[in-house]
Structure 1
Amino acid sequence: MSTSIIEPTQKVPYLKEHRLLNFSRESLPNELMFLHTDAFITPVGENQYGVRITSRAKDNFYTATNLVPEMPWDWSQLPNFSFAFDASNLANHSTQVFINIFNTQDEMHSRSITIPACRNPRTYICELKGDYLQGKTNHYSGLRSNPAPFDTPYEYATWMWGAINIDLTSICKIELSIHGSLLDHELVLSNFRLIQSPPTNPDYLTGIIDKFGQNANVDYVQKVHSESQLLALKDAELETLKAGKMPQRSTFSGYTGAKQFEATGYFRTLKIDGKWSLIDPEGYPYFATGIDIIRLANAYTMTGVDYDHSKIEQRQADDLTPEDSIEKVTVSSEAKQTAFIASDMRRNCFNWLPSYDDPLAEHYGYMRELWEGPTAQGETFSFYAANLQRKYGENYRQIWSDVTIDRMLNWGFTCLGNWAAPEFYRNEKIPFFANGWIIGDFKTVSSGDDFWTALPDPFDPQFEQRAIATVQQVKAEIQGSPWCVGIFIDNEKSWGRMGTIQGQYGIPIHTLSRDAVESPTKAVFMTVLQEKYQTIEALNQAWSTQFTSWEIVAKGVCDLAHNEAQCEDYALLLETYASEYFRIVSQAVKAELPNHLYLGARFADWGMTPEVVRACAKHADVVSYNYYKEGLHPEPWTFLEEIDMPSIIGEFHFGARDTGFFHPGLVSAESQDERGEMYERYVQSVVDNPYFIGCHYFQYIDSPITGRSFDGENYNIGFVSVTDVPYDGMVNAAKTINSSLYQQRFNQLTK
């Protein structure tokens, strides 16, 4: 039986290790609860026991092992400590486990571990209290996840999301979950405990990055140690690329081994024998497999240096490109003369940065606003771009572009994914996808969980004007090219989260609380409700409210009961809102770019509520989703049959920590080879789905180990490393699946 570690009247004990659960060979502890998994007592040592859990992937999208105390644990007065447990993996593949810790204040602290295929147990720790926990403090590193700030033989769990410094006074559940998996898993878990942290090392991030942007303290097969080695790797790769693109590919990378359809000169969609497909400009069936972020903009990292802001060119009110999509804000020599260290911890990460008169100083830039970082703004540097100059010489930019196109064709990809630099739009060797952002001084609404930014108010006339301006910029970039498959506008907007009424219907709930005079969307919602109910008495009867007039509702109403009728109306209002957004964007695209496909706004898997997806399906040519799981598990995608629309995956990825990264990415593997295996399985799940017409992997280049400058993402998710060296496991997997996907997808079509 577990007990609360700290009683309200007790002083803090000196904690070294405290067991949370007591196992016996007769039964599992009462505090252990299981969701969609089989669980059995199993020996883990002499007179020691744990729990053996088995999850069946095809039967359950989400499985969990939960530790739930009889009374919430109060850990607030403990010295620095971590939650720890032992785990071994009986399967022949790794298992990603999310460690989600909850308190009674509805906070969640989420980390992730990757348990390799190994019967020998390892200890995993989740730091819950410490001097250097990531946060916006004087010690903030700006990395999405840090390494352990102390010496430990244990595996330090990767930070994911939630409250990094969670309130520890009332911990009510620890959840170990697996979700979105395509494979069955079998784990042994034991020895759940708290352990006191050793003394922290204030220099734990000092000197971690070498002159090539790699982890200075980790060695691995493809690590670059010298410029001569970098040049030798370049020469060897260029020789392999001479093989060219894969056979049975049309001019536009469609499939020439199957029936040819009507050629319109541009890409279009067509349902063929029950499967949605793209048709290329020459009439050949086409499946869009590609890689996102083929650009240098995301390869910059913060250096910890800043300048006098008056010397920096500022953003303009009519800018149409977000700060993180601008490749580089050039800094004048006058500004560099004002340089000062804004973050010692950050600056000390680097063993080397070029002096301002070094030829590689060309790769300094500036970030004027950050979503999250070690400073509010400041100097950036791109080790990747510097390595390109080392590798390809003075004309590195053009050579890199040419090599990149050759790689895509040789690796079997049929397109460049989203966010390719516009310079690639002229390549005329491989199709591309274009994108735009609607940015402007229009009014906004809120879902209550505005992850990246507030949502636009599409009923504000200014939004339509900015949508037109955005599409006109895209039009100028693609210049009517038949090589453009289609256009994404916006990305991962916070439409709402499933699971709760407030999460799913946050937009109507928050908007109803606003004054219709100030909110164009609220004014439209009033029209919808008045048309439906006619009288305030009818609304009151349905909603069980006592409003005295429509004017009261128009002024703003809060604390609604969310009864069945209200929820039905929330759904109506949400779809009304989203339909207007997609209608306006689609109208702008069709007016300016009538020959190109409108591909929606790339729903995040946490933000694809049914009402908004239906609204998109009314107006887009293709519905797009960013889906970070092991593959297309059937459970979340049953709605595809209802909307019956061509769909595309805009983002997915896999990462590992075996090349010195502190964060593998949103979906993790144990090694570079396993990353490739997971990539192949994911793409296969897309090829097998009749509604999907393609998928784009995120991204081409690894994130910087010290995090991309805008938000600190420090993921090992690239097809190529910071030294521009391709990962063999990923490339081999791409070649394997890309060489057969057309035959699999269109095997029923004959010429």
Structure 2
Amino acid sequence: MKYVALFAVLLLSLSSLDGAATEVADLAATSADAQIRLQQVQRIGQVEHDAHSTPLGRYAFQPGNQPQIVIAPTNGVWNGSGQGVLQVQVQNAMPWALTLVIDIDSGNAGQRLHAVAGLPAGPAQTLVVPLRATSPRAFGMQAGPPMPFDDRGHAVFVATTVEGAIDATQVHAVRLSMPAPQATQQLLLGKVDITADDTALQDAYRGIVDQWGQYTRGHWPEKVDSDAALRSAHAQESRLLQAQLSERRGLDAYGGRQDITLTRTGWFHTEKANGRWWLVTPEGHAFFSLGVNAVTSHDTRTYVQGREFMFVDLPPDQLPWSTFYGSSDSRDAERGASAGIGGNHGRWFDFYAANLYRVDGAEWLSAWRKRTLGRMQAWGFNTLGNWSDDALGKLHRVAYTLPIYIDGDFGNVSSGFDYWGRMPDPFDPRFAQAVERAVTNATASSRDDPWLLGYFADNELAWAGQGPQGRWGLAMGTLHGEARSAAKQAFIAVLQKKYGTAAKLADAWGIALADWSALNATNFPAPEPNEAHPAIAEDYSAWLRRYADQYFTLVAAAIHRHDPHHLFLGGRFAVNTPEAVASCAKYCDVISFNVYADLPQHGVDLDAAHKLDKPVLITEFHFGSDDRGPFGKGVVSVWNEAQRGEAYARFVQAAANDPAIVGTHWFEYVDQPVTGRLLDGENSHIGLVGITDISFGGFVDAVRKANLGVDH
């Protein structure tokens, strides 16, 4: 067994350190103060030094499941009471990024803090691990700033995500490991400090946004450093757009293909011709919907209250900038998307709208609408997707869609996947009343507008749960709910009609059920389907279909009653079940899916859609990278900006090649704020344009080429 120093005995209470760093060990030296077990790790060579003359020891992590360095106290346990951070001098000695896992074990119940650091190749840096659980969500955003960052000439890598918990008075071991390297990987490790001062974590987020809403520590072609540069970039693009708009040919007024003539009705509708589904324009031409979601000027607000330290030169809350300040509250205990998000209420600032003002002055909104519609057409888009500015559609330059939000004081059911909230209970009479109100309001001003493509109802409802048995989540959640639940009472009535007695149901399901009142109890432990009792899956499947039928038939009837002209475009499935999709196919004109995958065929069961013989609309997809400011890379990420365009072209052409797919809608128009949007802290680079409203030229060029070249 080889021993090298990692930790000296840690008997000092952190509360006595008064914020000063205290050297714990030096990994370039040897000591008996702490013992180390090297598991598939070797110490190599003599002491080395980095550019700052810091001594470092070289360690080789061998191929294996999880080579690791396990550090334990020589005597007893370490007492690290209080809070603080662990600091390690480290250098990735390989020409590629390495993943280092840091685990701290404590207590008698297997307590552990867990952090992962993706160490880039390059010079030595200080790795900082907070000794408490934290995450970017606690700072109000879903993805944290890239690491390392420069702190007065020194590279600092803060583990912004730390999971778990420890008893700081009973630290048993620290583990440094790599997950399953395929070849030997080398790290240089040096001095280890511990401090009660955890300002490094806040420093990781300090001053990360400039006055234009851009990430301060990054550089990219579209970034501006003055208002003059901002206006110059817009003027240059304006000239290009005029040239591109003059190239539009072969399309009818609505963007339909004049070379494919179908039935003319005066309204958008669906039609199947020669084995292929189409959307059809009011003039009777084939229309493949190329859309963009959230084409709006007010979806980029970010909270500043309580996070002022993150912003550099934040505009003063006085005219003209006070126009772009406001306040709201995004706290929602029942919405999983909001879980753990800090800085989620109070004063916000809208950098995007402020930049539009910088470009066009007091008339910025009308100028933005004109410019945006010009972009849509020049870039080959023909549809305004969900959540877009209502006024854009009314200008009648591209087709538009409208959402129907069904809100109200009606019951709900948990499917186990409540990211956007629990499922509405369509069996509650108050739900039907809410549908009537919502549809009445949504159709009032658009029912006679031929430019309206159609309506969506809700978005990404929780039709299924999570895990291998997720398909049955809504059925199990219905039975698990409160006795007063209308859905639960309806499900029990179905089971009573089928089985007659509780004993027959108990036998079919293989459960103990003394009488029907036991099933009616709140928190009834609904059984998971299993091979020994196929009746469970059969009954759950029938209920899922009935649930979906109840929802879709109510919404469809209301839409067609108030607006007989326009399409019901479905519910924008994120999670779904075969039963819900089949019900949507029966009652909706189009089945809509939000698909986050490299290709639509990898995110949707298109074979099932073909059997249902119904058109499919892909209502969300995107590809993100982290080289244009915002920290997140979206749901589906690529390595860099150039690959975003390549991925877009592949996806859209693959969609157009499928005879059931009638369009694709990109999510979304503008990049999300660096510090996270109000709703849930999302902060990804997934836009066509940035926070300055400057388009991402290379990506947009690839998008335009793909849109104009779509081949069916």
Do both proteins adopt the same fold according to a TM-score greater than 0.5, normalized to the shorter chain?
A: yes
Query: CA 1:540–1:631 in 2, change beyond 3 Å: closer, same or farther?
Result: same
**For 1:203 and 1:435, how far apart are their aligned partners in 2?**
41
Q: Which residue of 2 aligns with 1:352?
A: 313
After superposition, give the CA deviation of every residue in 1:19-47 in whole Å (9 maximum; x if it has no partner).
986389xxxxxxxxxxxxxxxxxxxxx99
**Residue 302 (structure 1) aligned with residue 281 (structure 2):** no
Q: Which residue of 2 aligns with 1:585?
A: 555
**For 1:363 and 1:659, how far apart are their aligned partners in 2?**
23
Q: Which residue of 2 aligns with 1:334?
A: none
**Residue 216 (structure 1) aligned with residue 183 (structure 2):** no
Q: Which residue of 2 aligns with 1:679?
A: 648
The answer (yes or no) to whether the contact 1:81–1:127 under 8 Å persists in 2 is yes
Q: CA deviation at 1:622?
A: 1.1
The answer (yes or no) to whether the contact 2:294–2:668 under 8 Å persists in 1 is yes
Q: Which residue of 2 aligns with 1:181?
A: none
- Based on CA coordinates, which of the two structures has the bigger radius of gyration? 2
The answer (yes or no) to whether the contact 2:41–2:67 under 8 Å persists in 1 is no
Is there any run of 5+ residues in structure 1 with no aligned partner, and where?
25-45, 52-64, 178-185, 305-342, 746-751
Q: CA deviation at 1:498?
A: 5.0
Identical positions, percent: 31
Query: CA 1:537–1:690 in 2, change beyond 3 Å: closer, same or farther?
Result: same
Q: Which residue of 2 aligns with 1:340?
A: none
Q: CA deviation at 1:433?
A: 1.3
Query: CA 1:274–1:599 in 2, change beyond 3 Å: closer, same or farther?
Result: same
The answer (yes or no) to whether the contact 1:447–1:507 under 8 Å persists in 2 is yes
The answer (yes or no) to whether the contact 1:88–1:122 under 8 Å persists in 2 is no
Q: CA deviation at 1:87?
A: 11
**For 1:19 and 1:689, how far apart are their aligned partners in 2?**
57
Q: Which residue of 1 aligns with 2:170?
A: none
Q: CA deviation at 1:88?
A: 9.0
Q: CA deviation at 1:225?
A: 1.3
**For 2:125 and 2:240, how far apart are their aligned partners in 1?**
41
**Residue 509 (structure 1) aligned with residue 507 (structure 2):** no
Q: Which residue of 2 aligns with 1:539?
A: 505
1:649-660 matched pairs, under 5 angstroms: 649-660=618-629
Residue type matched to 2:486 in 1? P
**For 2:684 and 2:164, how far apart are their aligned partners in 1?**
24
Is the partner of 2:221 in helix, strand or coil?
Answer: coil
Q: Which residue of 1 aligns with 2:324?
A: 363
After superposition, give the CA deviation of every residue in 1:80-103 in whole Å (9 maximum; x if it has no partner).
57999989999xxxx9999999x9
Aligned to 1:401, which of 369, 386, 405?
A: 369
* Larger RCO (CA under 8 A, 6+ residues apart): 1
**For 2:135 and 2:281, how far apart are their aligned partners in 1?**
48
Q: CA deviation at 1:129?
A: 5.2
**For 2:231 and 2:381, how far apart are their aligned partners in 1?**
25
1:91-110 matched pairs, under 5 angstroms: none
Query: CA 1:454–1:77 in 2, change beyond 3 Å: closer, same or farther?
Result: farther
Q: CA deviation at 1:107?
A: 12
Query: CA 1:188–1:441 in 2, change beyond 3 Å: closer, same or farther?
Result: farther
**For 1:558 and 1:193, how far apart are their aligned partners in 2?**
56
Residue type matched to 1:509 in 2? M
Residue type matched to 1:673 in 2? A
Q: Which residue of 1 aligns with 2:346?
A: 378
The answer (yes or no) to whether the contact 1:214–1:705 under 8 Å persists in 2 is yes
Residue type matched to 2:327 in 1? Y
Q: CA deviation at 1:722?
A: 0.9
Aligned pair count reads 635
The answer (yes or no) to whether the contact 1:370–1:709 under 8 Å persists in 2 is no
Q: CA deviation at 1:664?
A: 2.4
Q: Which residue of 2 aligns with 1:231?
A: 231
1:702-721 matched pairs, under 5 angstroms: 702-721=671-690
The answer (yes or no) to whether the contact 1:87–1:189 under 8 Å persists in 2 is no
Q: CA deviation at 1:367?
A: 1.3
Q: Which residue of 1 aligns with 2:293?
A: 292
**For 2:143 and 2:501, how far apart are their aligned partners in 1?**
55
After superposition, give the CA deviation of every residue in 1:359-382 in whole Å (9 maximum; x if it has no partner).
122111221333544335211111
Query: CA 1:479–1:522 in 2, change beyond 3 Å: closer, same or farther?
Result: same
Aligned to 2:576, which of 608, 611, 619?
A: 608
Aligned to 2:163, which of 159, 162, 165?
A: 165
**For 2:453 and 2:214, how far apart are their aligned partners in 1?**
36
Q: Which residue of 2 aligns with 1:528?
A: 494
Q: Which residue of 2 aligns with 1:562?
A: 528
The answer (yes or no) to whether the contact 2:99–2:178 under 8 Å persists in 1 is no
Residue type matched to 2:141 in 1? L
Query: CA 1:291–1:175 in 2, change beyond 3 Å: closer, same or farther?
Result: farther
The answer (yes or no) to whether the contact 1:20–1:193 under 8 Å persists in 2 is no
The answer (yes or no) to whether the contact 2:210–2:314 under 8 Å persists in 1 is no
Q: CA deviation at 1:615?
A: 2.5
Residue type matched to 2:557 in 1? Q
Q: Which residue of 2 aligns with 1:264?
A: 265
**Residue 248 (structure 1) aligned with residue 214 (structure 2):** no
Is the partner of 2:489 in helix, strand or coil?
Answer: helix
Is the partner of 2:299 in helix, strand or coil?
Answer: helix
The answer (yes or no) to whether the contact 1:651–1:698 under 8 Å persists in 2 is yes
**For 1:267 and 1:519, how far apart are their aligned partners in 2?**
39
Q: Which residue of 1 aligns with 2:566?
A: 596
Q: CA deviation at 1:175?
A: 11
Q: CA deviation at 1:131?
A: 5.2
**Residue 622 (structure 1) aligned with residue 620 (structure 2):** no
Query: CA 1:514–1:217 in 2, change beyond 3 Å: closer, same or farther?
Result: closer
After superposition, give the CA deviation of every residue in 1:637-672 in whole Å (9 maximum; x if it has no partner).
243334332111111222222223322222223322
Q: CA deviation at 1:352?
A: 2.1
Is the partner of 1:569 in helix, strand or coil?
Answer: helix
Is there any run of 5+ residues in structure 2 with no aligned partner, and where?
13-22, 28-35, 43-57, 168-172, 333-337
After superposition, give the CA deviation of every residue in 1:714-736 in whole Å (9 maximum; x if it has no partner).
11111111111000122111111
Q: CA deviation at 1:552?
A: 2.7
Q: Which residue of 1 aligns with 2:423?
A: 455
After superposition, give the CA deviation of every residue in 1:499-534 in whole Å (9 maximum; x if it has no partner).
322x33222212213354x11101110121122212
The answer (yes or no) to whether the contact 1:279–1:286 under 8 Å persists in 2 is yes
The answer (yes or no) to whether the contact 1:149–1:200 under 8 Å persists in 2 is no
After superposition, give the CA deviation of every residue in 1:175-229 in whole Å (9 maximum; x if it has no partner).
989xxxxxxxx99785699997987523332222111111223232211111111
Residue type matched to 1:655 in 2? G
Q: CA deviation at 1:446?
A: 1.0
| TM superposition score normalised by structure 2 | 0.78
Query: CA 1:192–1:540 in 2, change beyond 3 Å: closer, same or farther?
Result: farther
**For 1:683 and 1:125, how far apart are their aligned partners in 2?**
44
**Residue 732 (structure 1) aligned with residue 701 (structure 2):** yes
Aligned to 2:384, which of 416, 419, 424?
A: 416
Residue type matched to 2:552 in 1? F
Query: CA 1:614–1:89 in 2, change beyond 3 Å: closer, same or farther?
Result: farther
1:83-94 matched pairs, under 5 angstroms: none
Q: CA deviation at 1:556?
A: 4.5
**CA RMSD, aligned part only?**
4.5
